[in-house]
Structure 1
Amino acid sequence: MTLNPKIKDRRSPLTPAGRGKGAWLATLEAGAHALQSAAPLKDFDVYVVGFHCAKGEPGHQMEAHHYCKVVNDDLLQCVLFDGNTRDAQLIGIEYIVSEHLFETLPEEERPYWHPHNFELLSGQLVAPGLPEKAEKAFMKRLLNSYGKTWHTWHTAGLDGPGTGLPYGDPKLMWSFNRDGECDETLKRDRDEAMGLDTDARRADRQSFLDGARPQHGVDAMRDDFPGATPIPGVVDVRDTTAPTDPGRPS
């Protein structure tokens, strides 16, 4: 995937452990380009940037660059990086399902999946480089959806510098669901570096409100962020007696 030249670079915050590239690499790359196929990667052509938090660890926050493949109307698969340049490190994966597919999941599986409505309605999730109308249409398709995200490498974040190699167990990541949960310095740093206007996106996406339905998991980390403020359209299913519609987004 070649990035739109209008998208500003966001480089990886670290250099991985290990020695420099040897001369053997040029031969390997030439052979790979000529003889091998990268077919599974060719359709990962949707690029979005947001913020993640480890479930149950409110201080473990970071910026995440998603490169996604639209499998069908109900499923996306994403590979996650800590930047958008050739030196970016692979830090995890995310699967995204529609509300329709989420409702088919067994009860014991649902706690692994975070809700997306706050990310959309707050303007925090963005698709840099897409024309405004195309980005808005794509984000509307994600309304009421859910993500299952695992990070395998902590390269940098709110809680300090990362590690030179991917240590320890994968972390299940969660979404932010109220104003005041995502650290302001993370948001400001990304927006200034990439020339993004989150506030303008937030205002524009208020047109999504009529389609936003209560979601599971909105309150999963409520007690971890005392003082955070709810926003319209982001409601946990346990906070309402209104029936939810498991149908597909319009």
Structure 2
Amino acid sequence: MFFAGSVFITLETGCTDSDTVGPAVEAEGQPESTKTKVLEAGAGVLQRDAPTDKLNIYLVGFHPLKNDPQHQFEAHHFCQQVNEDFMQCVLYDGNTSDANLNGIEYIISERLFDSLPEEEQQYWHPHNGEILSGQLVAPNLPEVADKELMQSKMNSYGKTWHTWNVTYGNESNDRLPLGEPALGWSFNRFGEAQPGLLENRDRRMGISTEERRRQRQDLIPLAHPQAGVDALKGAFERPTKPIPDVVDKSTSAASDLKKRPNP
């Protein structure tokens, strides 16, 4: 159960058949033996799984890597709202029981972000662009519940580490999680996502990013300038354009300074 504004939202991690997304790759290794399956079944009965029971909020969005923006992930987030200012998520390449765990994301409020030292803030990406563009979605929620959830995440920030190069539609997926974790970022301008990335997600899951964008226009007045909006500006191989009212803090501060009368 998750409380957002005046709406109680009950979210299940399972999905209907119409929007299931299987794993992007089968992990390298031998099939489970009968002994392993028996041990697994016994563990399921006798051991606790309370932490994962709390992962009851399901979000789907996209992440480019901050140091390699052409490398982009479709990210299925299974999250727990720990308190009003802090959420923690496990990331997968799909939403079925055999999906591959490929990262983590922590989400904090603007208040907590502003309390961080500048050196730490560089790891946290802004969320207003994801929300106002319609890219970030909570599948299967009614419109009113989706709006409440997205409103609660306006002006928030995420710290994402991808631990496995595996994502839907990527021909160079690894069969195992190799190398160092990579810092994920957010799309903050139209056109930054690779052609087909959003469209393929929408088609498979029965979602309209454009319709979500239109439904969220009344959230625009809530948007504050955020740090990191321009972190990847100019780093993409195609034309991009601003998302209305998604503004970098540094740009906003410079603009305000220009508007001030001379002393």
Pairing 1:19–2:59 present: no
**Within 1, Cα distance between the matches of 2:185 and 2:131?**
14
- Write the distance in 2 (CA, Å) between the matches of 1:205 and 1:39: 34
Q: In structure 1, how many angstroms separate the alpha carbons of the residues matched to 2:128 and 2:48?
A: 37
Could you give the per-residue CA deviations for residues 123-152 of structure 1, whole angstroms, max 9, x where no partner exists? Answer: 000000111111110000000000000000
1:32 corresponds to: 43
1:111 paired with 2:104, answer no
Correspondent of 2:159 among 148, 151, 166 = 148
User: What corresponds to 2:109 in structure 1?
Assistant: 98
Encode CA deviations 1:80-109: one digit per residue, 9 max, x unaligned.
000000110000000000001101101110
| Aligned counterparts of 2:239 and 2:47: Cα–Cα separation in 1 | 53
1:47-76 deviation line (CA, Å, top 9, x unaligned) = 000011000212101200000000011000
Corresponding residue SS for 1:100: helix
Asked if 1:85 corresponds to 2:128, the answer is: no
Report the CA distance shift for 1:79/1:202 in structure 2 as closer, same or farther (over 3 A).
same
Letter matched to residue 241 of structure 2: T
Show the counterpart of 1:236: 248
2:190 pairs with 1:179:
yes
Q: Tell me the distance in 2 between the aligned counterparts of 1:211 and 1:124.
A: 18
Query: Cα deviation per residue 1:161-185 (whole Å; 9 max; x = unaligned)?
Result: 2111011010000000000001131
**Could you list the per-position Cα deviations for residues 13-45 of structure 1 after superposition, in whole angstroms to 9, with x for gaps in the alignment?**
111100011001231122112210001111100
Change in 2 beyond 3 A, CA 1:39/1:74? same
Does residue 215 (structure 1) correspond to residue 218 (structure 2)? The answer is no
Task: Answer whether contact 1:10 1:193 (CA < 8 A) is retained.
Answer: yes
1: CA distance, partners of 2:13 / 2:118: 40
How does the TM-score come out when normalised to structure 1? 0.93
Could you tell me how far apart the structure 2 residues matched to 1:53 and 1:4 are? 25
2:139 to 121, 128, 139: 128
| Amino acid in the other structure paired with 2:118 | E
Matched length: 243
- Note closer, same or farther for the CA distance 1:15–1:109 as it changes in structure 2 (3 Å cut): same
In structure 1, stretches of 5+ residues that fail to align are 244-250
Looking at structure 2, the residues matched to 37 and 130 of structure 1 have their Cα atoms a distance apart, in angstroms, of 29
Report which stretch shifted further, 50-59 or 95-104. Answer: 50-59
Residue equivalent to 1:64: 75
Aligned to 1:206: 217
Q: Are the structure 2 counterparts of residues 193 and 159 from structure 1 closer, same or farther at C-alpha, using a change threshold of 3 Å? A: closer
**Is the CA contact (8 Å cut-off) linking 1:61 and 1:158 kept in structure 2?**
no
1:53·1:175 contact (CA, 8 Å) conserved in 2?
A: yes
Structure 2 distance, partners of 1:234, 1:64, is 21
1:65 & 1:178 partners in 2: Cα distance?
21
Residue number in structure 2 paired with 1:248 = none
